[in-house]
Amino acid sequence: EAQVTQNPRYLITVTGKKLTVTCSQNMNHEYMSWYRQDPGLGLRQIYYSMNVEVTDKGDVPEGYKVSRKEKRNFPLILESPSPNQTSLYFCASSPQERRTEAFFGQGTRLTVV
Amino acid sequence: GQQVMQIPQYQHVQEGEDFTTYCNSSTTLSNIQWYKQRPGGHPVFLIQLVKSGEVKKQKRLTFQFGEAKKNSSLHITATQTTDVGTYFCAGDSGGGADGLTFGKGTHLIIQP
């Protein structure tokens, strides 16, 4: 089954404690991205990757890092989480050459206290 | 940068009434996509529009892309409780690699 898998689904952490949210897709997609969703603000892109070893900032990259060492994986790293990073995070992938349908993961609800 | 405005933010309707959400881009789009997010769920792709003036239908849903490729609409006829959720438009400018810019979404609330 074609899917994008995020882990964990829920996470409560403390300010400053480094964390990683994993994202993996099994569709051989080149393009992957991370979004955060906040009430009244919709989906905002954090980082994206066009292919392996190619990443770039989206609209709200501050406080986040990503890596793309393999085509299927695109982890989101919060080196020093702060309460304003409490949000719902989505990973998505799509075939770059078509710039079409984005497949979203189930989401990760992060709370930073 | 590209901006995509979507209205209304919330829409309450009685079951059986029609519903429309509108999307406007600050720049000409290569294509526009629509997604639906059920409460507690993740966005799910509905459709992509590419051509100027394009109209597509999916059962009770009608999608339109404006002639100038800067605006779009989603119309639902005779809403049902299963239509509840947030509808997002997402514009693709076609240039560069930054992908989709999402509107803030329209929350559809249906009263039985």
Q: Write the pLDDT tens digit of every residue in A51-99.
A: 899 999 988 999 999 999 999 999 999 999 999 999 999 999 998 765 6
Across the interface, whether the CB atoms of B102 and A44 are under 8 A apart is answered: yes
pLDDT at B109 over 90: yes
Pairwise CB contact (< 8 Å): A103 & B90: no
Give pLDDT, residue A52: 93
Whether the per-residue pLDDT at B98 is higher than 70: the answer is: no
The pLDDT, as a whole number, for residue A99 is 66
3-state secondary structure B56-95: EEECCEEEEECCCCCEEEEEECCCCHHHCEEEEEEEECCC
Q: Is the pLDDT of residue A101 over 90?
A: no
For residues B56-70, average pLDDT: 97
Provide mean pLDDT across the span A25-43: 93
Residue B89 pLDDT > 90: yes
Where residue B94 falls among pLDDT bands split at 50, 70, 90? low
> Does the CB of A41 have a partner CB in chain B at under 8 Å?
yes
- Contact A113/A12 with Cβ under 8 angstroms? yes
Of the candidates A56, A96, A102, the beta carbon closest to that of B100 is on A102
Q: Coil, helix or strand for A3?
A: coil
Q: Does B97 have pLDDT greater than 70?
A: no
CA–CA–CA angle A92, B65, B34 (5° rounding): 25
List all residues 6 or more positions away from B50 whose beta carbon is below 8 Å from its beta carbon.
B30, B31, B65
Q: Which of A31, A44, A107 sits opposite B99 (nearest CB)?
A: A31
Å from A45 to nearest chain B CA? 8
Taking a C-beta distance cutoff of 8 angstroms, is the pair A79, A19 a contact?
no
Average pLDDT, rounded, for chain B:
93
A55 at interface of B, judged by CB pairs closer than 8 A: no
Q: Find, among A9, A16, A34, A18, the residue nearest to A93 by Cα.
A: A34
Work out the minimum CA distance from B40 to partner chain A, whole angstroms.
Answer: 9
Has residue B96 got a pLDDT over 70?
Answer: no
Contact residues, chain B, for A31 at CB < 8 Å: 97, 99
Q: Give the Cα separation of A96 and A11 in Å (integer).
A: 30
What pLDDT shows up at residue B66?
A: 97
Cα end-to-end distance, chain B, whole Å:
41
Asked if A34 is an interface residue toward chain B (Cβ–Cβ < 8 A), one would say no
Instruction: Tell whether B102 lies on the interface with A, counting CB pairs under 8 A.
Output: yes
What mean pLDDT is predicted for residues B86-98?
80
